[in-house]
Amino acid sequence: MTTASDRAPVSTDGPVVSPAVAVEAVELTKRFGETLAVDHVSFRIAPGEVVGLLGPNGAGKTTILQMLLGTLLPTSGVIRILGLDLTRHRETILHQVNFSSTYVSMPASLTVRENLMVFARLYGLQHPKERVEAVMKLFEIADLRSASGRGLSSGQLTRVCLAKAFLNNPRVLFLDEPTASLDPDIADKTRRLLRESRDQNGTTILYTSHNMQEMEELCDRIIFLHKGRIIAMDTPKAVLAKYGQANLEELFLLIARQGVAP
């Protein structure tokens, strides 16, 4: 993996100190007209913690991720990332954060290497060529460096997007269904990389997935959302014990079909 020196430079509006809390949402609320998409959600994620955000479709997962990334303004509430208020220090924070989603892609007319170089420049990396080579090797896409996006399978494209997400060696990583289109082998390798990033670099990871087994295996804690509200937030084992379910799959079905009071 990489060292802290590979990280993107910190912007001029103040350095990011080592905070006790990596991601903090306080009474986060988002309303779209009459629809309350996120309803007074509060949570804290410690540095180096892997937290899974799960819930049925429309539970508010993507809305929360968008607000944490600053691409969607909350109706009310406060977001602090690495100890800094997102509203006031967005640029500083974004140098230390990255994101990947199955719902976004990259220009298909550019080669894998060109795409990654664009983002390496956007994050102001000091040694962009070396870093791009490193992440391509990390995600086993080095042999695709000259391939255009059109020639990639969806699994390969997902790996390119994940490589992009690791370019600036982020301290906080937001992932929206990162393993959705990967075959079991690459999905397993991706989970291993996420664990290594956490263990070696202290990367904080918040991610969504519909793969419940993956959630149980990878997450230190899970945040279970239903209709925009947190109904459970604890270790997977503790949440399962609370609801008397054998695994997250069963718990998910129970909540999606019957609803459970928080």
Partner 1 sequence: MTWYRIWAIFTRHFYLYKRSLSRWMAIFYWPLIDLFVWGFITVYLRQAQPLSEGGKPVSFIMAFLGALILWDILFRSQQGISITFLEEVWSRNLLNLFVAPLRPIEFLTASMLMGLFMVTTATLASAVLAWLFYSFNLLVLGVALLPFILNLVAMGWAIGVVTTAVVLRFGQKAEVLAWGLTFFFQPISAVFYPVEVLPAWLQPVARAVPATHVFQGMRQVLHDGTFPVGELLAATALNGVYLAVAFLFFYWIFAQVKELGLLLKVGE
Enclosing H/E stretch for 197: helix 184-201
Report the C-alpha gap between 262 and 259 in whole angstroms.
Answer: 9
Which span sits near partner 1 by CB under 8 A: 107-115, 183-191, 234-242, 252-260?
A: 107-115
Question: Which residue in 55, 30, 40, 19 sits closest to 177, CA to CA?
Answer: 55
- Residue 128 within binding range of partner 1, rule CB under 8 A: no
Which residue, 6 or 216, is less far from partner 1 as judged by CB?
A: 6
Which residue, 66 or 169, is less far from partner 1 as judged by CB?
A: 66
Q: Which residue from 1, 21, 26, 122 is in contact with partner 1, where contact means CB under 8 A?
A: 122
Minimum Å distance from CB 79 to partner 1? 13
Q: Which residue from 50, 64, 84, 94 is in contact with partner 1, where contact means CB under 8 A?
A: 94
Report the C-alpha gap between 39 and 111 in whole angstroms.
Answer: 42
Which span sits near partner 1 by CB under 8 A: 53-61, 93-101, 129-137, 229-237?
A: 93-101
132 with 120: CB under 8 angstroms?
A: yes
Question: Which residue in 54, 53, 17 sits closest to 205, CA to CA?
Answer: 53
- Residue 103 within binding range of partner 1, rule CB under 8 A: yes
Q: Which residue from 47, 79, 119, 204 is in contact with partner 1, where contact means CB under 8 A?
A: 119
Report the C-alpha gap between 109 and 238 in whole angstroms.
Answer: 47
